Structure 1
C-alpha cells in the first residue's frame, strides 16, 4: 500500500510534466547588435504560447505563456489540468504496471486522481542573441489542487468492508528548472526541459463513508493501521493520520510537496 502514495507523489502531486514558453512576434522589441557600428538593430519576439506534449502520457493538458521582460529575461505562467483518471489507464501508467509485482499492481488499480496546477516563474537565458533562445535556468513556484479517489477494501474475519476514500490535498512549493529553447521555424519553437526539482508543503483531508458499526474495536484498529500504512513516514513523521469510527474514516494529510522534472518537451508559437 505504501507504493500507492509514493507513486502518487511522484506522478501526480509533483509530477510532474511541465514546459514553458518562448519569444514572440506581433509584440516585438529591438536590441542593438553587438560588434556592429552605427545604429543596427535585431528585432526579436516577446510572447509565446506553448503546449506540453510530454504531459499527455499522464492525461495532463498543459498550456503555458511566456513574456520577455528584457532581452534575456522572461516571465512564465502555466496551467495544467488532469481530468479524473485512473493512472492505470494512462500510457505511462500502463508501462509502470508492467514493471510491478502482482501485489503492487492490484494496489494501484483502484486509484483515480484529478488535479489543477498553476506554475509561475522567471527564466534567465544564456547566449548573446536577444530573445528567448538558448539554454536557460528558471526559478518557479507551483500551486496544486488535487482530488484522489481510492476504492478501498478491508477483509476481517471473513467479512468484507468497502468504501471510497477521497482525498483533497493542496500543495505549494518552489524550485529550479534547467532547459533549452530553440526555433524550429520562423514562429515555431521547441522547449526542452532537461532537469528540475521543486519542494514545498502539501496538506489536506481524507474521508470515506461506510457503515462499520458491526466491526469490533480491534477490527477498527486494524483497519486504521492499514489505512495509515498507505503513506510512508517522512523524516520520522507520519504523512497520513486517519481515524476509523462507525461511520467510516476521516484523516489529515501533512507532508512534502516535492517533485523531480526531466526530459519534458513542449511545442509553441511565437506571436
Structure 2
C-alpha cells in the first residue's frame, strides 16, 4: 500500500512538472484590435509537436468609425474600384459601426528546433465577420418644382464568410508569456449586404416614389445585377441580388498571450 502511494505521488508529481514545463494552451489578447475599439481574444491549443488549433473572437460595440478621416480617404480612393455601388453620398464621418467576428484556424509550425506554440507558422483559417450600424446618406432631387435633400439614415448589416492562409510568428516571453505576430495573409469568400431606411412616405404620390428610386440608383451608381433596390411608402431597402465576392488581407496583428 505504501509503495503504491509513493508510486502514485511520483506519477502526479511528474505530470505536474511536465504541465508546468510544457503548457499546451495559450490565451491571447489582440493589442492592435484595441486601438480600433475592438475587444478580441484568441485561444490556442497545441495538438502535436508542430500543430495547434486556435479560435479567435472579437466584438466592437456600435459607435463612431475610428480614424474617420483616414477611413474616408481610403473609401473615396477605393470607390472607383467598386463596380456595384458608389459611397460618395454617404456621410462617413457621421457613420457608426459595430463588429463581431469568429476565426478558427489550424497552425503548422516550421523549423527543426521549434515546436508548437513557439516559432514561425503557417495558418489555414476561416473567418466570419458581421458589421452593423447606421450610415447616413442623402440624395438631392426635385419635387413639385422644388429641389429638396432627402436624408436616409440606413441601418446596415454586412456579413462576410471567407477562408485563407496567413504567415505569423509567436515568440516566447519568459516561461509563461508569448508575443504572437500575425505577419500577413489573404482570404477569399463572399459578402452579403442588407440596408434599410424606414421612412414614412405615405404623403408622397407614386411618381415621387419612382423618381426617388431612380435618383438613388443614379446617385449611388447601383448595379442592379448585383444589388436589389426596393423603394415603397414604408422606406428603402437594398440587398444582394447575387453573391458578391470578397478578397482581403489579414495581418499586422499583435497579441500578448499567457501559457497554461
Q: TM-score, normalised by structure 1?
A: 0.73
- 8 A contact 2:29–2:256 mirrored in 1: yes
1:53 has 2:25 as partner: no
Partner residue in 1 for 2:232:
245
Distance 1:220 1:240, change over 3 A: closer
- 8 A contact 2:90–2:135 mirrored in 1: no
Q: TM-score, normalised by structure 2?
A: 0.76
Partner residue in 2 for 1:113:
97
Q: Deviations over 1:207-258 (max 9, x none)?
A: 11113353263343112332454xxx7xxx8543222223221121341233
Distance 1:118 1:186, change over 3 A: same
Q: Take 2:183 and 2:35, find their aligned partners in 1: how far apart are those partners?
A: 17
1:255 has 2:244 as partner: yes
Pairing of 1:188-199 with structure 2 (within 5 A): 188-199=177-188
- 8 A contact 1:45–1:131 mirrored in 2: no
1:226 has 2:210 as partner: no
- Equivalenced residue count is 225
Partner residue in 2 for 1:129:
114
1:139 has 2:128 as partner: no
Q: Deviations over 1:138-194 (max 9, x none)?
A: 000112222131112222122222222112232211111101000122211101111
For structure 2, list consecutive stretches of 5 or more residues without a partner in the other structure. 1-14, 77-86
1:207 has 2:200 as partner: no
Q: Take 2:92 and 2:246, find their aligned partners in 1: how far apart are those partners?
A: 21
Please tell me whether Structure 1 or Structure 2 has the larger radius of gyration of its CA atoms. Answer: 2
- 8 A contact 1:228–1:241 mirrored in 2: no
Moved more, 177-186 or 164-173: 164-173
Partner residue in 2 for 1:266:
255
Q: Deviations over 1:59-96 (max 9, x none)?
A: 11110000000011000001011111221xx2x44444
Q: Take 2:89 and 2:213, find their aligned partners in 1: how far apart are those partners?
A: 26
RMSD over aligned Cα, in angstroms?
Answer: 2.9
Higher relative contact order, structure no. (Cα contacts within 8 Å, ≥ 6 residues apart):
1
Q: Deviations over 1:108-154 (max 9, x none)?
A: 11322112111101000112233311110000011222213111222
Distance 1:244 1:105, change over 3 A: closer
Pairing of 1:38-187 with structure 2 (within 5 A): 43-87=21-65, 90=66, 92-97=67-72, 107-127=91-111, 128-157=113-142, 158-187=147-176
For structure 1, list consecutive stretches of 5 or more residues without a partner in the other structure. 1-25, 31-41
Distance 1:45 1:105, change over 3 A: farther
Q: Please identify runs of 4+ aligned residues in structure 1 that moved more than 3 A.
A: 26-30, 92-101, 103-107
